[in-house]
Structure 1
Amino acid sequence: MKKIYFNKLLFSLALAGTASGLVSCDKDLLNTVPNDRLSVDVFWKTENDARIAVNSLYTDLDSTNIISWDAMTDIAHTNQNFNVEAYVELGTYDATSSKVYDEWRKAYRGVQASNYFLENVDKIPAANLALINQYKGEAKALRAYQYIKLTGLFGPVPLITKSLSLEDAKQVANTPVEELWNFIDKELNEAALLLPATYAATEKGRVTSGAALGLLARANLYAGRYQKAAEAADKVIKSGTYGLYESYEKLFTYAAENNKEVLLDRQFIKDTYSNTVFQLLAPYSQKNSGSTFVPTKALVDMYETLGGKKIAEAGSGYDPLKPYLNRDPRLKFSVFLEGDILPSGAVFNPKPGSGTADAVGSTYIASGTGYNIKKYINTDDYANPVNSGINIILLRYAEILLTYAEAKIELGQIDAGVYAAINAVRNGRTDVKQPSVSNASQAALRELVRRERTVELAFEGQHLFDIRRWKTAESVIPGPVYGITYVNEQGKLTIVQAVAVNKVFDPNRHYLWPVPQKELNLSPLLKQNPNW
């Protein structure tokens, strides 16, 4: 919804302008309306006020920060060791981490904004009650979105459902995780009843009933409530509103924006409300872009061969000298590989000693693994890498299918619907045709659906939450970071290893992030997570 880029700064300025206009003719300047805050004296009067206010809630949705979460797992890496995310990788972070605090702060900013909206919207004498209820549904769903993230990252966080004064903030305490999941479940079920299934083209980007149900499926999967997760996902599937976009390669391009696969995204527009995803992720040769987060060999090796076999499996046909030949097409659509054509028109050549700006070791900014993320890197943004208008997808239909399949597998309810969901993701597009699966054991299907989630949703912010709930993080994260395989000057097959990186994951503490120290200092009732 390109019209919902309403920045909170613009929101404040617009209200300030309204206020100043009301008092500009007043000779008594001491009686002016304050122009640096929202005043109930001039707001919450019309349905348009409600629209402006609910629009502002979308600015608290996640954006390119979701990609950083994958860099704290096995499938990606923070390329510069002085970035705050690198300290999380190395296990040297604590409750004073700015990364930890920023994620907490941004999420609770969204919670507070939603709370304020829900407390005040009924002040409006609405002629269109259905519209006001729709706005309430949007606020509830967006608040639940923040709590899904907070609970997934931090565990027992405070459940706050009203605006807080400074004194109130000093009395907040941890809420048990089970209560948080109960609240999220209730909010999203209520929101789904208030929201429409679709909107007019001019309203694209607003939360729909399908998005609320999709978030409900995600939340219950995180919580291990598999029956509820399967039921919510099934409602989305049976609604017929969503489907897979025909091309995985084009899914993250401007041409595919607002397609039928997207349930929820953060909307941007060039020049007006942009993001910097191109500059953040593109190879260094692309106008000195940052290669901030880069893929790892661990991820690349997960992509099957075209025959549907793992590369280490007997008969896979995998050739270490031609590692990207005959592989699952999602690999080349997600990762810049040697020989790819870059947005500049140049050929990507990250091999050490290649003489290109992208050569491993040529500069600390070039990818230390020899891989770069391709999702969201559009030629349209090459001219101005810090002015991207591409929408960042936060929830899409492929995740719904995989959530349904995983939940049913964990329940032992393996039926035709499970295979249909998995196979749709594997071969339901024109450019991805991995072999269908059938008649597999529960253990084999569990392994398969986990691999499908990893490769299908790579760099979309889900893997950190997945390996935490699967309790596999302690196995897959620790150790060196490896990258491309190449033939060196002596003719020897060599694997790139990122310099001075040894990822750490302590199962006694790292399955939850620490509560930020600033929050502990504010409220004596707030308790720290174990072993921090």
Structure 2
Amino acid sequence: MKKIYLIFFSTILFTACNKDFLERYPTSTVSPPTFFTSENDFKIYTNQFYSFLPGGTDVFGETADNIVKSSLDPEVAGTRLLPETDSKWNWDDLRAINFLLTSQNAINYRDVTVRDKYFGLARFFRAMFYFKKVQLYGDLPWYNHAIESGDSISLKKARDPRTLIMDSVLADINFAIEKLEATKSVERITRYTALALKSRICLYEGTWRKYHTAFNLPDADKFLNECVSASETLMNSGAYQVYTKTTGPTGKPYQDLFATLTIDPVADEVILGRRYSAELNIRHGLQFYMTSRTQGKPGLEKRLVNSYLMADGSRFTDIAGYDTMQFYNEIQNRDPRLAQTIRTPGYTRIGQTTVLSPDFQTTMTGYQPTKWLNIIAYDGSGQSVNDLLLFRLGEVLLNYAEAKAELGTISQQDINISIKLLRDRVGMPNLIITDANTKPDAYQAALYQNISSTNKGLLLEIRRERRVELVMENDLRWEDLMRWKEGHLVAEPFRGAYFPGAGLYDLDKNGSTDLQVYAGNKPADASYYQVPVSDLTEGTKGNILVLKNITKVFNEDRDYLWPIPAGQIALNKNLSQNPNWK
């Protein structure tokens, strides 16, 4: 497949200050009398929308409780303050979208089919724009037109209710599904991309309304049913399937979804991605972030590692003494996705033969991520060129199963056409509904305290599956915790691997020391990483306690929504603040 890279020329790049962007037409060369008179005009103008898609750390840089880094984002630490300004409260993208949708030349274009295809694209991006804003702020001013200079009524608009916004988002994404072409493309928005976005949006909104009862929002089941419908349509289209080929760089299909340099070989499953290119010098910093000693030292958190099942489908946390197992023993005979996500004994980089143990100089927890890594040549700062995945069938399958379980309409056949396919890829036994509901997992139940369903055991297993399958993808874990009303999990102390006391440790049992835990003064001249015993949870033994001097908090009455910047409220007295932000 030929790659299409989006190069945005100065004639269609429009920048604006946040305070006045709503008032200005992008009229440097694009004006109502002269533009949107050919399909090429529509294509040139809408190319800019693709720059609105997430990229780089937005895709792989998780901020919740899956991945632990050397510093905490304010929302994880609980240190967010009411800001004067905030880049998240930026509406430039919407201005560009609405300009197209309200241009009289565009509305009056002679070929309605062509016009509606690009209107469908614009409404896809408007749905995505407002969905992300609602996740942050809840109620918002709804704008479906390009605001003209001097329109003080629109500029001073109050926040519309979340119900109006999300009904409008639903109308936009449904229009996109109807008007976009039903063709496969890993780099262009199609009907299938719109279905995947609708699946994500409606699962989020349905579960948010179900679990955030204090907001008293109606129609949770309506959105869950819309999620099921969109997911089912995409699943039944036959356009995508779970990637199972063993011809990739590692021969392991789950790992190869993320280890390939280009999406094309794994396009069976990938619905949309973001392209990068060494030739065009379009790069990102993924491998530098994951391999450098200075870029965060990411590591999987202990509770996530505990959540991986055994290879036979039984629960790791049901094993006596699971919580004091050392690294080598705890990763034996686990769900293969664990060894395809972190360094485990025998791990080698793609294209290399040197066996590598976990390197505590580049990971905070000892559970060193390998998902997304390719050859060493791309480890330098800003040198990564592997394409990044934005939507894939695997997520849609999980959305479908969760929505059906929340509705109470799920059957074993629903599991067989969704979660079973993901487990089959890695040789894991199927999830059986009766088994899950008969004996809910106590360990998972202690994590997820807010489930209200006759399918509690099943939902616990679906949440486990989602966490394992989608780690380090599009910050979905943060979104999950927010919609499930389980924000308390980010305030839990972050932990790493277990060590029974001071001593030398050979983590992968290859005969060489990888780490020393020491008591007293730090020993001199060690050729391996050293950890003071005081960094363990029990002082003389235990799990590595990451960022032990930081006490994280999560305010259940405040932190599920972001604050409206104070400067915006000063400019527009009709804007109200979110609850308990002062």
Aligned length, in residue pairs: 483
- For 2:42, give the aligned amino acid: A
1:214 aligned partner: 196
Match in the other structure for 1:468? 482
1:164 aligned to which of 147, 154, 160: 147
TM-score (norm 2): 0.75
Cα distance in 2 for partners of 1:452, 1:493 equals 31
Could you say what secondary structure the match of 2:434 adopts? coil
1:155 is the counterpart of 2:138: yes
Taking every aligned residue pair, what percent have the same amino acid on both sides? 26
Aligned partners of 2:288, 2:140: CA distance in 1, in Å?
Answer: 30
Counterparts of 1:399-410 in structure 2, within 5 Å, are 399-410=395-406
Kindly indicate whether residue 254 of structure 2 is the aligned counterpart of residue 248 of structure 1.
Answer: yes
8 A Cα contact 2:262 2:387, kept in partner = no
Matched, 1:236 2:241: no
Equivalence map 1:313-352=2 (5 Å) = 313-314=318-319, 320-321=325-326, 322-337=329-344, 340-342=347-349, 345=352, 347-350=355-358
Cα contact 1:242–1:397 (8 A) shared by 2: yes
Aligned equivalent of 2:523: none
Q: Which amino acid aligns with 1:514?
A: P
CA distance 1:371–1:445, shift in 2 (3 Å): same
Aligned to 1:29: none
More displaced, 445-454 or 3-12?
3-12
2:48 match: secondary structure: helix
Q: CA 1:484–1:316 in structure 2 vs 1: closer, same or farther (change >3 Å)?
A: closer
Instruction: State the one-letter code of the partner of 2:76.
Output: E
Q: C-alpha distance in 2, partners of 1:97/1:421? A: 49
CA gap 1:75/1:506 in 2 versus in 1, 3 angstroms = same
8 A Cα contact 1:310 1:316, kept in partner: no
The answer for the alignment partner of 2:79 in structure 1 is 92
What is the Cα deviation at residue 324 of structure 1? Answer: 1.5
Partner SS, residue 318 of structure 2: coil
SS at match of 2:385: coil
Residues 419, 133 of structure 1: alpha-carbon distance in 2 compared, 3 angstrom cutoff: same
Contact 2:138 2:162 in 1 (8 A): yes
Q: Which residue of 1 aligns with 2:272?
A: 264
- 8 A contact 2:495–2:544 mirrored in 1: yes
Distance in 1 (alpha carbons) for counterparts of 2:281 and 2:120: 25
Q: Residue 19 of structure 1 aligns with which residue? A: none
- Show the 5 A alignment for 1:423-438: 423-429=419-425, 431-438=426-433
**Partner residue of 2:158?**
173
- Please state how far the C-alpha of 1:306 moved relative to its aligned partner: 0.7
Q: How does 1:127-526 map to 2 (within 5 A)?
A: 129-165=112-148, 167-168=150-151, 170-199=155-184, 204-224=186-206, 225-246=223-244, 247-254=253-260, 257-258=263-264, 259-272=267-280, 274-279=282-287, 281-284=289-292, 290-291=295-296, 293-314=298-319, 320-321=325-326, 322-337=329-344, 340-342=347-349, 345=352, 347-350=355-358, 358-360=359-361, 366-379=362-375, 382=378, 384-429=380-425, 431-440=426-435, 441=437, 442-460=455-473, 461-474=475-488, 476-486=489-499, 489-490=502-503, 494-499=542-547, 500-526=549-575
Give SS of 1:102's match.
coil
Post-superposition offset of 1:504: 1.8
d(CA) in 2 for partners of 1:2, 1:112: 29
Give the corresponding residue for 1:530. Answer: 579
Q: CA deviation at 1:39?
A: 4.3
The residue matched to 2:543 in structure 1 has which SS? Answer: strand
After TM superposition, the structure 1 stretch with the greater mean CA deviation from structure 2, 435-444 or 226-235, is 435-444
Q: Shift of residue 493 of structure 1? A: 6.0
Residues 82, 566 of structure 2: 8 Å contact kept: yes
Deviation at 1:213, TM superposition (A): 1.6
Q: 1:407 to 1:427 in 2, by over 3 A?
A: same
Q: Deviations over 1:113-151 (max 9, x none)?
A: 211222238448856543332222111112111222211
Cα displacement (A) at 1:260: 2.1
CA–CA distance in structure 2, aligned partners of residues 339 and 121 of structure 1: 63
Deviations 1:311-331 (A, max 9, x none): 211479898232221111112
Once the two structures are superposed, residues 162-219 of structure 1 have per-residue CA deviations (whole angstroms, 9 ceiling, x without a partner) of 22356556313212111111111111111111011214xxx64111212212211221
Report the aligned-residue RMSD: 3.1
Greater mean deviation of Cα atoms: 481-490 or 225-234: 481-490
Give SS of 2:41's match: helix
Aligned-pair distance for 1:305?
A: 1.2
1:521 corresponds to which letter in structure 2? A
